Amino acid sequence: MFAVHLLAFHFTKLKEDQIKKVDRYLYHMRLSDDVLLDVMARFQAEMMKGLGRDTNPTATVKMLPSFVRSLPDGSEKGDFLAVDLGGSQFRAHQVKVFDDGKQSSQLESKFYPTPKEVIQGNGAELFDYVADCLLDFMETKNLKHKKLPLGFTFSFPCKQTKLEEDVDVDVLALVNDTVGTMMTCGYDDQHCEVGLIIGTGTNACYMEEMRHIDLVEGDEGRMCINTEWGAFGDDGALDDLRTEFDRELDLGSLNPGKQLFEKMISSLYLGELVRLILLKMTKEGLLFNGKVSTALLTKGKIEMKHVSAMEKYKEGLSNTKEILTELNLFPSEEDCVAVQHVCTIVSFRSANLCAAALAAILTRLRENKKLLRMRTTVGIDGGLYKTHPQYAKRLHKVVRRLVPTCDVRFLLSVSGSGRGAALVTAVAHRLAAQRQCIDATLAPFLLPLGILREVMDKMRAELEYGLKRETQANATVKMLPTYVCGTPDGTEKGKFLALDLGGTNFRVLLVKIKSGRRRSVQMYNKIFAIPLEIMQGTGEELFDHIVQCIADFLEYMGIKGARLPLGFTFSFPCRQASIDKGTLVGWTKGFKATDCEGEDVVDMLREAIKRRNEFDLDIVAVVNDTVGTMMTCGYEDPNCEIGLIAGTGSNVCYMEDMKNIEIVEGNEGKMCINTEWGAFGDNGCIDNIRTKYDKEVDEGSLNPGKQRYEKMTSGMYLGEIVRQILIDLTKQGLLFRGHISESLRKRGIFETKFLSQIESDRLALLQVRRILQQLGLDSTCDDSIIVKEVCGVVSRRAARLCGAGLAAIVEKKRENQGVGRLQITVGVDGTLYKLHPHFSRVLRETVKELAPQCDVTFMLSEDGSGKGAALITAVAKRLHNVGQK
């Protein structure tokens, strides 16, 4: 018994000694975690070079765009063909993809051996052979009469310019096998966004953000990048890690100096690497008693299958001894231990290096998503990963150690190159069909220049109807005289009160205007809320609430006893008989207070002040916010004769020649006209450009059939138009997996501020998804792209329509002045113009296109409704005083 224990101890000691001897000999192949983290950082730097337009030509890691923009979402269905050319055999597949909710598919394949003369012949012969095999396969499966979509797996580096190439069959996708692997696994696990091949060759692909891919136009969404990482190190980036054996192997290869990373990790080269190590160790007398056999001198004699078999530790040394004996090496027990450990170090280094590069990709994915912790899946294929007894376990362990912030699942691919090509084709097929439906849905919003000119001409006609005595009563664009007959000239001075009622908040302001060299405007204001029950209560309640707010402000400012001139900004359609008389035509913006329409709002304010009996005010002017905007900018720029509001509501005013205003007596001078253009189209004149979504929004509004132009151009309604489109696209199965959530059913959930946020150029799709999640909409990356596109189309149409209306105004001003070229300034206010990332630019471009003879300057107004009201009051006082003198 003691002898047995002694023998076991002797063997263990012998084994340890041999392992230490090999460890010392192959010290440079044993890579610490610090070295691997360094490799990871180097690979990340190479990825960045490959993605950059300027650095890509010199990058070794080419980061080739695959033009695969989406992963399977489970809704793919149909019959597809796939062909797979990547080795000595060519394969044809028929793949049936079922939309049964179970992510199921069926694969039927046929193998065709590729003759050597075809492999080494010219390209035409190779592709003729592929076509013949495909024809045979289709005849075998009775598919010749069908024109099925086809995916072509071409497992060699390709620089693609688009997904499909021009072939005389319905080829939808040219696919790399790595991409096919990712897509196959992505069909089974929607978290899969990385593909890895580790076999006779090695490569990885992953889904990259489009905004980082300089080689491809566009910033929206993601695209699969085929890294072609086998060439990592071809520029010398890994020279400090390459051993003498790596260099010798490279020199004896078919492509010296190329694919250096692949030569360190793929199964095609690992057996040869082991042979070179064993040969040198034998020559140095460390193995086989120094006897060099023919096997050790013969290139390719030791293959990866030998390395894998020798690393089956559970079978002890028997496999190693048997393989070495077959190679006429006649090993001792010490030789077997040493050789087994050489194989372990070589394959372990391969797994370590592969893990470091994969960790770099996973880190990039996590950083792209701006996540502290990420859950993802890596789809894997390849003989080394599948057949080596230890490789998968080692790879998983090292990856998880290098990227502890990533929860990684490794999923083995089943027929990645065949089924994967079919799935890429199925996804491309789905996306093409979706694109067609989305384009058809959004087409009515894309207004060509010809249509915009028609809108401009119709607006011009409606402006004229509103100015003429005989047509004004029936005109939709009311062209209301404001009795504001002048713009500021710089001599205005004094203290003025301003009231501003135009939305859910009400403001009271004290405005101090100084003239002369120290010309300035100082403002003090307080904001008061208007509760919904008062907005939609009685008129008396509304004006009593306004007076209560004024009283609070006067007390707050300590000026309750002063009888100050007051300008009342009342941002609703009013018919004025003089500057201090305004009859409400009709409520807008959600107000529905009773007993107000048809009444003079100045009288209603005076009566409410009398009822309170605490103070008195000199109400000089009732002012529309659009006019206030024009006056505010006119104080800074005398050339400003147009005011535009593009916010919750939409309106324009401008200085019209008195001779053209038939509804007001007198022909001298000018008067500001409040167009109230929001009602443009209420007579049906723009029905040809109204979509079914516009009609749905109109029908669900507080004032159906009214303010139709405003409902297509103002911030209050754009979000609701977007919501209606999203519901329709979801019903068509193009969004949110066909599921209309409760939140999407809620009217008004999609506020216009969300359009501005979603359309921001600085916002990544991940942030768009977060906004949608805040709204209770669980979206994929593809959903986010579509939502962003819908928002863009709706807001662009609003800006273009607004531009067409404004072009009609500036052209009218040009003709009024009888000039060939007009220089004019437009004062602008409103959140849509100020905060939306693209609205102002599109509006300006449209005006320039439609009114090329007008040089229009756009000037942002500073508080048109407050400061503007005070300035109108000041101008009215100045003109009144001039008249008295």
Closest residue by Cα to residue 482 from 676, 617, 745, 754:
676
Exactly one of 507, 690, 708, 796 is catalytic; name it: 507
* DSSP code at position 26: T
Report whether 361 contacts 194 (CB < 8 A): yes
Closest residue by Cα to residue 265 from 236, 301, 229:
229
Closest residue by Cα to residue 647 from 689, 589, 706, 723:
589
* DSSP code at position 736: G
Closest residue by Cα to residue 514 from 874, 2, 775, 232:
874
Exposure letters 391-416 (e unless 16+ CB within 10 A, then b): bbebbbebbeebbeebebebbebebb
- Catalytic site includes residue 507: yes
Report whether 786 contacts 825 (CB < 8 A): no
Contacts 24+ apart (CB under 8 A), 734-737: 734/434, 734/437, 734/438, 734/786, 735/779, 735/783, 735/786, 735/787, 736/777, 736/778, 736/779, 736/783, 737/73, 737/74, 737/75, 737/780
Report whether 574 contacts 601 (CB < 8 A): yes
- Catalytic site includes residue 253: no
Burial class (CB in 10 A: 0-12, 13-18, 19+), 32: exposed
Return the SS3 of 575: strand
**Beta-ladder partners of 94:** 81, 108
Exactly one of 84, 580, 625, 783 is catalytic; name it: 625
**Beta-ladder partners of 855:** 823
Number of helices followed by number of strands (H, E) in the chain:
31, 24
Backbone angles phi, psi at 116, to 5 degrees: -60, -40
Token pair of 462, please?
A: 């409606």
Distances (CA, A) of 317 to 286, 302, 324: 18, 17, 11
- Catalytic site includes residue 318: no
Q: How far apart are CA 780 and CA 788, in angstroms?
A: 12
Burial class (CB in 10 A: 0-12, 13-18, 19+), 782: buried
Active site residues: 507, 571, 625
